[in-house]
């Protein structure tokens, strides 16, 4: 697995988990699995299931790492907790992330932010030029309508200040050169054996035949600019609060 850039998130993970035999890489792998498979029910902060507060290390069933690995893989009969097809290694990385959640600040700047003003910050800083919220904005960047159901406040703050620290696979940009010399850059939407689909810099859906593509490569860095030093502490807090409030069209 490709090593991720060193960031404040990973450094914090290293400090908090040094005594638990987990590495920052374990935490990062577990976070990705959690977001993709667990956040839809447990929520990004791990407190959406009654009686379970993953962000405080409170579990209704099991408590040791081995017990949690077993629950993640096999589920809990008679409950809404389903089994998963994780390997033991993958399940243990999810446990590493759960331990990190319990040991680290959960909501960060969102606890004091003003979501209403954060919406104004979001719109005034040009975020809708790339992102889409409830049908408004562009599709160049990730859809944010339900981002508050998927990401923790601390992770959203990190994305705003350190956009290159992590680029999820579904949000990666590509650079394509066609056989007639045209160059296209955009967010990869889909690809198969015959075509490549992307949203280009003008927010247009483009479909290319692979037989007409000369070069194809992923762009390593995020096209999103860093807002480090461009927002006041209160603006950052308000912006994160607004993003955390985005739970989907039917959950507002």
Residue range 23-79, pLDDT digits in tens: 878 888 888 899 888 988 888 878 788 878 787 777 888 888 999 999 999 999 988
pLDDT tens-digit series, residues 143-186: 999 898 778 888 889 899 999 887 777 788 999 999 999 999 99
Number of domains making up the chain:
3
Supply the range of the domain harboring residue 44: 8-106
Give domain status of residue 232, yes or no: yes
Whether 161 is in a domain gets the answer: yes
Same domain (yes/no): 90, 61: yes
Residue 120's φ and ψ, nearest 5 degrees, are -65, -40
Query: Is 194 inside a domain boundary?
Result: yes
Beta strand ranges found along 113-245 (DSSP E): 132-133, 136-137, 173-178, 183-191, 195-200, 205-209, 213-218
Structural domain includes residue 1 = no
Residue 158 counted as domain residue: yes
- Examine the pLDDT at 4 and tell me if it is beyond 50: no
Q: Residue 105: its pLDDT value, please?
A: 58
* Backbone angles phi and psi of 220, in degrees to 5: -70, -40
CATH number at residue 199: 2.30.30.100
Residues 72 and 184 in one domain: no
Residue 223 covered by a domain: no
| For range 209-216, the mean pLDDT | 94
Q: Measured between alpha carbons, how far is 220 from 164 in angstroms, rounded to an integer? A: 8
Residues 85 and 33 in one domain: yes
Note the pLDDT of residue 240: 94
My answer on whether 65 and 133 are in the same domain is no
The residue with greater pLDDT, 67 or 4, is 67
- What's the pLDDT at 25? 80
């Amino acid at each position: 697995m490709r090593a991720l850039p060193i960031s404040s998130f990973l450094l914090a993970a290293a400090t908090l988990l040094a005594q638990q035999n987990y590495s920052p890489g374990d935490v990062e792998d577990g976070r990705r699995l959690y977001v993709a498979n667990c956040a839809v029910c447990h929520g990004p902060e791990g407190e959406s299931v009654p009686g379970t507060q993953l962000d405080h290390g409170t579990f209704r069933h099991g408590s040791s790492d081995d017990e949690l690995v077993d629950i993640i893989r096999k589920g809990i009969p008679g409950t809404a907790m389903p089994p998963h097809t994780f390997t033991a290694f993958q399940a243990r990385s999810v446990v590493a992330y759960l331990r990190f959640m319990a040991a680290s600040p959960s909501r960060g700047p969102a606890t004091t932010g003003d979501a209403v003003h954060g919406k104004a910050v979001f719109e005034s800083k040009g975020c809708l030029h790339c992102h889409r919220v409830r049908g408004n904005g562009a599709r160049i960047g990730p859809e944010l309508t339900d981002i508050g159901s998927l990401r923790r406040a601390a992770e959203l703050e990190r994305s705003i200040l350190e956009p290159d620290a992590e680029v999820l696979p579904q949000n990666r940009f590509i650079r394509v050169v066609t056989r007639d010399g045209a160059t296209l850059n955009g967010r990869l939407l889909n690809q198969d054996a015959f075509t490549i689909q992307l949203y280009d810099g003008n927010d247009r859906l483009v479909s290319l035949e692979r037989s007409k593509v000369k070069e194809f490569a992923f762009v390593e860095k995020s096209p999103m600019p860093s807002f480090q030093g461009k927002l006041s502490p209160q603006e950052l807090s308000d912006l994160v609060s607004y993003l955390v409030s985005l739970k989907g069209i039917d959950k507002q």
